[in-house]
């Protein structure tokens, strides 16, 4: 059932100009997608929701837009060159490549479905232990012991498990081939923040605790890409690094955990759709980590990570660059002594914009019965996030109705995104707007000419009412105010 809904959401996304496969006329490019005319608006609005809540509403958080290319040493210091890899395994017959841990997770799921709870628990335990020790032989052994077959060839003819680094690299400058010219496409936006820590702290006269927020593209050469825009090779992250006094990281970790969950709940899709998932295997930089998972049609999956990253990054950049990434804290502790110089600890929140987009589409997508034997597809988006806020329809193409409609459009288009259409029956036009989540449609009819009123139709209730043209702007603006989400 859920799988069926997911298929519908994916085809809806394509049909209504939200998401297209990249380079589709050439059969697409694996796990790369383009956002269409409605997708780009929704994505921009989701990004704004995050940005406003982080930067506009926190006096001690400021923004940054760092470049995608960074000095190669950044990735040495961050641990990505040595450690940012997934365990992969190839099937020798089909020549297909898999993530070893995902093959095992799929097997666990199958055990559960077949009612073999004990086998599932045993395998889970083995998988956790192998991942914790980075034990590639143990992973291979589990694949052999549990008789996992390649879904394509159906055989158990596997290679050994190897580590596969997920960073894309390219060459900078004219001297192709020289190892010195190798640069990476950033696999996370966070490092742009760490290397600018002093620039921002000094020029912004920021005092600990403070945060730096950034949104932007990140690139990962995922071994296998699955589930539409869930796992992409080029995607967008929204990250915030919060710099705190050493020893206070647990308090701030708890604070951001709660704040981020609240932010998700505000979208109004139902709090039961979200849950926390504590990490068993902590990343090389973390002393605590939790995911916020969303109930996608294919199950609960990670949407955001909250990580207590210690002083790992700033310390390593200090060592490798020779620049002291420290903070002088003039405030006094309980003994009346200044805290002095230290490397701040960091609590980060990191969310994938594309996963948030997918969660939003899945949660907002509804098929409703309207009247006898009729259905409609509606995206019940929070109005402030909708790609189009107001659709403007003259009832007919003559008698001065289009002119009047245009006049209204010309006044309102500066305030919010409007869409004008005069083709097709009005019911059809309403349905097309329902399908992209437009909260309001107005229709200009003959009565409008004499009374200066229009019919306004509400997306969710489909209720239509007559209002004065002079009142349209206020009505829409109240409904699409950022306060509806941020307050």
Query: Which burial class, exposed, middle or buried, applies to 160 when counting CB atoms under 10 A from its CB (0-12, 13-18, 19+)?
Result: exposed
Query: Which burial class, exposed, middle or buried, applies to 315 when counting CB atoms under 10 A from its CB (0-12, 13-18, 19+)?
Result: middle
Nearer to ligand ATP, 252 or 294 (CB): 294
For ligand ATP, the binding residue among 6, 184, 210, 235 (CB under 6 A) is: 235
- The secondary structure of the chain in percent helix, strand, coil, rounded to multiples of 5, reads 40, 25, 35
Query: What distance in Å separates the CA atoms of residue 315 and residue 47, rounded to the nearest whole number?
Result: 30
Is 354 an interacting residue with respect to ligand ATP (CB under 6 A)?
Answer: yes
Convert residues 174-213 into a mask of x (bound to ligand ATP by CB under 6 A) and - (unbound). Answer: --------------x-------------------------
- Which region among 64-72, 231-239, 421-429, 475-483 touches ligand ATP (by CB under 6 A)? 231-239
Find the shortest distance in angstroms from Cβ 231 to ligand ATP: 4
Task: Quickly tell me which residue has 């929204």 as its tokens.
Answer: 238
Nearer to ligand ATP, 41 or 304 (CB): 304
In the 8-state DSSP scheme, what is residue 56?
Answer: I
Q: Is 248 left (phi over 0), alpha (psi -120 to 50) or beta?
A: alpha
Helix H or strand E encompassing 303:
strand 299-310
Nearer to ligand ATP, 303 or 388 (CB): 303
Q: Which residue has the closest beta carbon to ligand ATP?
A: 352
Among residues 409, 355, 364, which one has the least CA distance to residue 385?
Answer: 364
Tokens of 229: 């825009």
- Cβ(301)–Cβ(293) below 8 Å: yes
For ligand ATP, the binding residue among 78, 237, 448, 453 (CB under 6 A) is: 237
Among residues 390, 386, 437, which one has the least CA distance to residue 12?
Answer: 437
For ligand ATP, the binding residue among 232, 347, 395, 485 (CB under 6 A) is: 232
Nearer to ligand ATP, 32 or 149 (CB): 32
Is 351 an interacting residue with respect to ligand ATP (CB under 6 A)?
Answer: yes
Give the end-to-end CA distance of the chain in Å, rounded to a whole number. 36
Convert residues 142-181 into a mask of x (bound to ligand ATP by CB under 6 A) and - (unbound). Answer: ----------------------------------------
Is 220 an interacting residue with respect to ligand ATP (CB under 6 A)?
Answer: yes
- Which region among 132-140, 227-235, 359-367, 441-449 touches ligand ATP (by CB under 6 A)? 227-235
Is 361 an interacting residue with respect to ligand ATP (CB under 6 A)?
Answer: no
For ligand ATP, the binding residue among 231, 264, 309, 317 (CB under 6 A) is: 231
For ligand ATP, the binding residue among 34, 90, 105, 222 (CB under 6 A) is: 222
Tokens of 2: 């859920």
Find the shortest distance in angstroms from Cβ 353 to ligand ATP: 8
Find the shortest distance in angstroms from Cβ 30 to ligand ATP: 12
Is 295 an interacting residue with respect to ligand ATP (CB under 6 A)?
Answer: no
Beta-strand ranges (E) seen in 333-435 are 338-342, 345-352, 365-369, 375-379, 390-394, 418-420
Query: Which burial class, exposed, middle or buried, applies to 28 when counting CB atoms under 10 A from its CB (0-12, 13-18, 19+)?
Result: middle
Nearer to ligand ATP, 93 or 222 (CB): 222
Is 61 an interacting residue with respect to ligand ATP (CB under 6 A)?
Answer: no
Query: What distance in Å separates the CA atoms of residue 64 and residue 194, rounded to the nearest whole number?
Result: 11
In the 8-state DSSP scheme, what is residue 354?
Answer: H
Find the shortest distance in angstroms from Cβ 73 to ligand ATP: 21
Find the shortest distance in angstroms from Cβ 279 to ligand ATP: 8
Is 306 an interacting residue with respect to ligand ATP (CB under 6 A)?
Answer: no
Q: Site residues (CB under 6 A) for ligand ATP?
A: 188, 220, 222, 231-232, 235, 237, 302-305, 350-352, 354-355
């Amino acid at each position: 059932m859920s799988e069926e809904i997911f298929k519908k959401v994916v085809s809806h996304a394509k049909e209504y100009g939200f998401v297209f496969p990249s380079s589709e006329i050439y059969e697409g490019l694996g796990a790369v997608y383009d956002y269409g005319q409605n997708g780009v608006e929704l994505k921009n609005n989701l990004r704004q929701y995050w940005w406003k809540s982080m930067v506009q509403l926190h006096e001690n958080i400021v923004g940054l837009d760092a470049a995608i290319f960074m000095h190669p040493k950044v990735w040495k210091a961050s641990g990505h060159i040595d450690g940012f890899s997934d365990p992969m395994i190839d099937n020798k017959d089909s020549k297909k490549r898999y993530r070893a841990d995902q093959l095992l997770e799929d097997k666990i799921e199958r055990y559960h479905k077949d009612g073999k709870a004990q086998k599932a628990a045993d395998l889970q335990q083995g998988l956790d232990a192998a991942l914790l020790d980075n034990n590639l032989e143990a992973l291979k052994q589990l694949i052999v012991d549990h008789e996992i077959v390649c879904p394509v060839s159906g055989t158990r003819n596997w290679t050994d498990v190897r580590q596969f680094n997920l960073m894309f690299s390219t060459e900078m400058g004219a001297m192709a081939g020289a190892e010195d010219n190798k640069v990476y496409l950033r696999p996370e936006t966070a490092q742009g923040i760490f290397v600018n820590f002093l620039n921002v702290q000094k020029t912004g006269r920021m005092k600990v605790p403070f945060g730096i927020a950034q949104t932007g593209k990140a690139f990962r050469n995922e071994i296998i890409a699955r589930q539409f825009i869930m796992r992409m090779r080029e995607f967008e992250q929204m990250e915030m690094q919060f710099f705190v006094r050493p020893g206070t990281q647990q308090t701030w970790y708890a604070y951001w955990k709660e704040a981020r969950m609240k932010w998700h709940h505000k979208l109004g899709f139902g709090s039961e759709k979200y849950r926390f998932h504590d990490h068993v295997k902590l990343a090389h930089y973390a002393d605590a980590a939790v995911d916020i998972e969303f109930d996608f049609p294919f199950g609960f999956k990670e949407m955001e990570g909250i990580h207590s990253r210690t002083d790992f990054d700033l310390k390593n950049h200090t060592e490798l660059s020779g620049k002291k990434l420290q903070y002088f804290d003039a405030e006094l502790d309980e003994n009346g002594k200044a805290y002095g110089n230290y490397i701040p600890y960091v609590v980060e929140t990191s969310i994938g914009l594309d996963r948030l987009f997918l969660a939003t589409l899945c949660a907002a997508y509804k098929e409703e019965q309207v009247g006898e034997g009729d259905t409609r597809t509606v995206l019940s988006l929070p109005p402030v996030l909708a790609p189009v806020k107001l659709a403007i329809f003259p009832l007919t193409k003559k008698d001065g109705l289009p002119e009047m409609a245009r006049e209204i459009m010309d006044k309102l288009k500066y305030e919010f995104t409007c869409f004008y259409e005069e083709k097709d029956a009005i019911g059809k036009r309403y349905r097309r707007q329902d399908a992209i989540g437009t909260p309001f449609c107005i229709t200009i009819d003959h009565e409008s000419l004499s009374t200066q009123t229009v019919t306004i139709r509400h997306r969710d209730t489909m209720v239509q009412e007559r209002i004065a043209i002079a009142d349209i702007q206020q009505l829409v603006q109240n409904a699409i105010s950022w306060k509806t989400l941020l307050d």
